Amino acid sequence: MGKTTVGIIFGGKSAEHEVSLQSAKNIVDAIDKQKYDVVLIGIDKEGKWHINDASSYLINEDNPKLIQLNKSNETVAVVPGETGHQLIYQSQQKVLEQLDVVFPIVHGTLGEDGSLQGMMRIANLPFVGTNVLGSAVCMDKDIAKRLLKAAGIKVAAGYAFSSSNQQQIDFDEIKKDIGVPLFIKPANQGSSVGVSKVSTKEEFDEAVEMAFQYDHKVIIEEGIVGREIECAVLGNEHPKASVPGEILPQTEFYSYESKYIDESGAKLEIPAELSDETVARIQDEAIRVFQTLECEGLARVDFFLTDKGDIYVNEVNTLPGFTRISMYPKLWEISGISYPDLIDNLIQLALDRHQKDATLKNAVWDE
């Protein structure tokens, strides 16, 4: 059998563009070259898709603060269809080589929210990760937590406001109800983009204004005092959970810079120092969250563990970071799955789901 051709789509228009570049680099470096041929498709910040050469697709690739996509002279377009030739070179109107599967590692808006997943479904391309519904649900922290709460899973108390009712946000009322400190977040951003921890009205007002710069909906949540525990989940119908790890922030909270830029911004303790009973509880809860929110392939579930032993879900990431300091691959490495094997597992899960979907009957009515 020949090699499987994997299209790695990375970059994108979101605030997490640079994180995606780092994730792509790590996947390209680690993927089994004996088993897979790689086609690199970089999306620039204007939304154009570039075919990139593996030897020159990044600028300042070893500097997270300066890393950039090296835009190529060859852009591509997506053509829906079932012929297996879903991508074409725009300049030549020539068909790109067949992709057997896509590994989308576009974090944040338009990559993690179901948009890219929907386009790949229309193009009939197998892809790694959660499908349209689960991606959209997990990206919207408000909707995700409503579903988790309905399933009896603990989440922080909080409020959601859209830009249309922004004037109704009252710091004193919210403080009286759920106390301070408060966390203010755009509902549809990831990786701590636009997130603030506040205790005063002045901080609160500034944080709300900033959060609305990133999304039309903002959530305001109570601060949960507890350890920050993360658990990786892998699988489709029968997911499994990794050993839990712990984030030990060295800053005020686990910010965007702590996650992806400042290697001294947080310490990762993998596995976390937990009792066997607590490990089992967290793993069971992670799988429960994964299934409640219709996740597939992969997700990282982030928890708070209080001194009383209560487990609260903070958020769910359906395309977690794959940088060299990211938790998801590190958790699986300690759990016994190497980085190359993890990539291989994810690609196989994508192909398996695509084959299963192909067995479904289309809703075509006989006349």
Digit-coded pLDDT (tens) for 74-98: 888 877 765 555 677 766 666 777 8
* Alpha helices in the chain, H assignment, sequence order: 17-30, 115-122, 132-139, 141-150, 171-178, 201-211, 256-260, 276-292, 327-334, 339-358
Is the Cα dihedral 176, 178, 183, 187 positive or negative? negative
Residue 356 phi, psi (nearest 5): -65, -45
- Predicted TM-score (pTM) of the model is 0.91
Q: Which amino acid is at 160?
A: A
**pLDDT per residue over 198-253, tens digit each?**
999 999 999 999 999 999 999 999 999 999 999 999 999 999 999 999 999 876 65
pLDDT band for position 263 (cuts 50, 70, 90):
low
1 vs 200: which has the higher pLDDT: 200
Q: What is the mean pLDDT of the chain?
A: 90
How large a percentage of the chain has pLDDT more than 70?
Answer: 90
User: What burial letters (b/e) apply to 167-204, b meaning 16+ CB within 10 Å?
Assistant: eebebeebbeebeebbbbbbbbbbbbbbbbebeeeebb
Q: Cα(first)–Cα(last) distance of the chain, in Å? A: 43
Q: What's the Cα-to-Cα distance from 338 to each of 9, 19, 30, 242, 298, rounded to whole Å?
A: 22, 21, 10, 12, 15
Task: List the one residue out of 111, 115, 89 whose CA is nearest residue 45.
Answer: 111
Tokens standing for 251?
């800053």
Identify the weakest region by mean pLDDT among 28-42, 69-83, 185-199: 69-83
CA distances from 51 to 1, 10, 115, 273, 367 (A): 26, 11, 20, 44, 45
Q: Which domains does the chain have, with CATH numbers?
A: 4-127 (3.40.50.20), 157-222 (3.30.1490.20), 225-357 (3.30.470.20)
pLDDT value for 134: 98
| Res 19 pLDDT > 60 | yes
Distances (CA, A) of 278 to 77, 156, 241, 327: 48, 20, 13, 19
311-352 confidence digits (pLDDT tens): 999 999 999 999 878 899 999 999 999 999 999 999 999 999
The token duo for 7 is: 């299209």
Q: How confident is the model at residue 366 (pLDDT cuts 50, 70, 90)?
A: very low
Q: What is the DSSP string of 259-270?
A: HHT-TTSEEEES
C-beta separation of 294 from 137 below 8 A: yes
**3-state SS assignment for residue 93:** coil
